[in-house]
Amino acid sequence: MYRRGRWLAVIAAVLFIAAVELLSDSVLDAALQFPFDTLLVVAVVSVVAVAAASLAFRQIDRLARGIEERNTELEARNAALRAVYDVSLAVAGQTDPRLTITGILDRARALLKTDAALLAVDGPAGEIRLVASSADPGVMLGDEPSERGAGKPETDGLDGYLKPGYRVRVSASVVLGEKRVGRLGLASREPRRFSAEEVATVSALATQVGLALEAARLQDELQALAVQGERERIAREMHDGLAQVLAYVNTKSQAVDEMLADGRVAEARRQLGELAEAARSLYVDVREAILSLSSPVPPDRSLTAALEEYGALYAESSKLAVRFEASPEAAGAPISVAVQAEVFSIAREALTNVRKHARAQRVGLSLLRQGREVLLRIEDDGVGFDSELLTRGPERWPHFGLAGMRERAESVGGNISWQSSPGAGTVVELRIPVGGATLGAPLFGVGSPDETGRSAAQHQAVRSPAETVSEAD
């Protein structure tokens, strides 16, 4: 119907001009002299043309405004979708969920052009507690809410954290599954209404906040488990090392006291020598336990440098000759930070076994690149053990922490093997795949090639959509 009307308008204009031309050739020629008849025709045609052009231009301007408004709306929706997408990537890739939550609040405040963004979580008694905020200076009242705004269902009391004059204008529930865990609110001084797209954006951001909160909870649980596991490990080491040595010292001391009382001075001196040796061994154990509580590889050091430094300290405390070498290819291999700690911990455990059980004189520690793998090799010239026991199940393995070392290796996609026989020393080989995705900076290659690629001289010693409320509702 609309298209037919446009063509009827064109036909009417043509018929009108034709009628004027016919009148010009018949009636006007007789009534008016030239050039007045021609001027009259031109004036009439001009008026018709201007009127038609005005109507056409008005229609074109209306369509242009509609297109511009639609384009602005699409750009705003695209910006919102891009922001939600960026936030989703941050939630997936950020190792610290708390930084992710702060980033979401910053993005929400900038995207919706508000003065503050607040996140509060639900307490056990139904109260809310502010856990994060992003605001311009002079907007927030503090971490403790005032009575203002308490009990308002649309904000759940979020206004109580704002200075007078500011109000939460739009808010959304933060949910995990079907359970609400908090509320995300956006505040400003000036009243405003939010479009349906903006309200949907707030709801989507609240969903991402919920995912980040869950990630933070899981991270806290993992840290608690790690702390508990470390406590159990320290307790085992104290029981197997410190407690047993102290019991040994107590027994020897009583024996020495009896020998001195009986005048057996030579035997007492021999017992005192054994006591001194036990004390030195205990000192080394305590020192290694203290080292194990620190970060395996400091952030500003490479794994190669950390292993070399530890080899030197180990040589000093164990009185063994240690030779360390690392190839440039291994030093530059891209391995994640998570793998870094496990490789170092396995090397430390293997060297501890050498000191305690191998009765060796020399130890070799090397880091090599073999194809798509990095090989950590630790070998000694000690007494060895029957490696056939390793094929009979973990319950038959020697009590050297081998099961824990294998679990560490498998947790990062690697594998570990032992080659040994009585009287022939032991070789431990740890293979770790490289070339995959990394977490942060590469573990190797932080230092220069001269630092990481050299062979160290021998050392001779003496880690969902949510309910949304806005002022538009």
DSSP characters over 142-186: -SS--STTTT-TTTTTGGGGB-TT-EEEEEEEEEETTEEEEEEEE
H or E segment at 129?
A: strand 128-135
- Do 316 and 448 share a structural domain? yes
Rounded Cα–Cα distance for residues 302 and 331 (Å)? 8
Cis check for the bond before 394: say yes or no (omega within 30 of 0).
no
Residue 127: the pLDDT is 74
- Do 172 and 81 share a structural domain? no
H or E segment at 286?
A: helix 265-292
Measure the CA dihedral 230/404/406/283, to 10°. 90
* Eight-state DSSP code of residue 253: H
User: Residue 316's closest CA among 154, 197, 466, 462?
Assistant: 462
- Do 414 and 318 share a structural domain? yes
User: Strand, helix or coil at 119?
Assistant: strand
- Do 198 and 52 share a structural domain? no
- Do 127 and 23 share a structural domain? no
Q: Could you tell me the CATH number of the domain that includes residue 164?
A: 3.30.450.40
- Do 419 and 306 share a structural domain? yes
- For residue 72, which amino acid is it? T
- Do 201 and 143 share a structural domain? yes
Mean pLDDT by 10 residues, the chain (473 residues): 60 72 64 65 76 80 86 73 66 66 85 90 79 88 60 64 90 85 90 84 84 80 76 69 74 84 85 80 68 58 83 84 89 77 87 86 91 91 81 59 81 87 90 57 34 36 44 53
Rounded Cα–Cα distance for residues 444 and 437 (Å)? 14
Number of domains in the chain: 3
User: Residue 116's closest CA among 102, 104, 106?
Assistant: 106
Residues 413-436: b if buried by 16+ CB within 10 A, e if exposed: ebebebebeeeebbbbbbbbbbee
- Do 213 and 331 share a structural domain? no
Contact 128, 114 (CB under 8 A): no
Rounded Cα–Cα distance for residues 79 and 56 (Å)? 34
Domain for residue 472, yes or no?
A: no
Residue 202: the pLDDT is 86
Domain for residue 244, yes or no?
A: no
Joined tokens for residue 340? 């870094």
Contact 187, 158 (CB under 8 A): yes
User: Residue 108's closest CA among 77, 78, 83, 139?
Assistant: 83
Residue 439: the pLDDT is 30
Residue 98: the pLDDT is 76
Could you tell me which residues are beta bridge partners of residue 135?
116
Per-position DSSP letters for 217-233, written without gaps between them: HHHHHHHHHHHHHHHHH
State the pairing for strand pair 116-122/179-188: antiparallel
- Do 432 and 354 share a structural domain? yes
Q: Could you tell me the CATH number of the domain that includes residue 444?
A: 3.30.565.10
Domain for residue 225, yes or no?
A: no
- Do 153 and 64 share a structural domain? no
Domain for residue 256, yes or no?
A: no
7: exposed, middle or buried (C-beta count within 10 Å: 0-12, 13-18, 19+)?
A: exposed
HSE of 10 in the Cβ direction (CA atoms, 13 Å)? 5
- Do 191 and 77 share a structural domain? no
Residue that terminates a domain, selected from 193, 220, 247: 220
Domain for residue 59, yes or no?
A: yes
Residue 341: the pLDDT is 80
Domain for residue 316, yes or no?
A: yes
H or E segment at 199?
A: helix 196-237
H or E segment at 420?
A: strand 415-420
Residue that terminates a domain, selected from 36, 58, 88: 88
Joined tokens for residue 146? 């005032």
Instruction: Kindly give, in sequence order, each residue whose CB lies less than 8 Å from that of residue 213, ignoring residues fewer than 6 positions away.
Output: 97, 101, 121, 174, 176, 181, 182
Rounded Cα–Cα distance for residues 140 and 362 (Å)? 65
Residue that terminates a domain, selected from 54, 88, 122: 88
- Do 321 and 425 share a structural domain? yes
Q: Domain limits at 108?
A: 97-220
* Eight-state DSSP code of residue 379: E
Contact 91, 100 (CB under 8 A): yes
H or E segment at 20?
A: helix 2-23
Domain for residue 473, yes or no?
A: no
Give me the count of residues in the chain.
473
Joined tokens for residue 250? 């107590």
State the pairing for strand pair 362-370/321-326: parallel
Residue 34: the pLDDT is 62
Domain for residue 247, yes or no?
A: no
Query: What Å distances lie between residue 345 and 50, 154, 310, 328, 440, CA to CA?
Result: 88, 53, 11, 22, 19
Residue 265: the pLDDT is 84
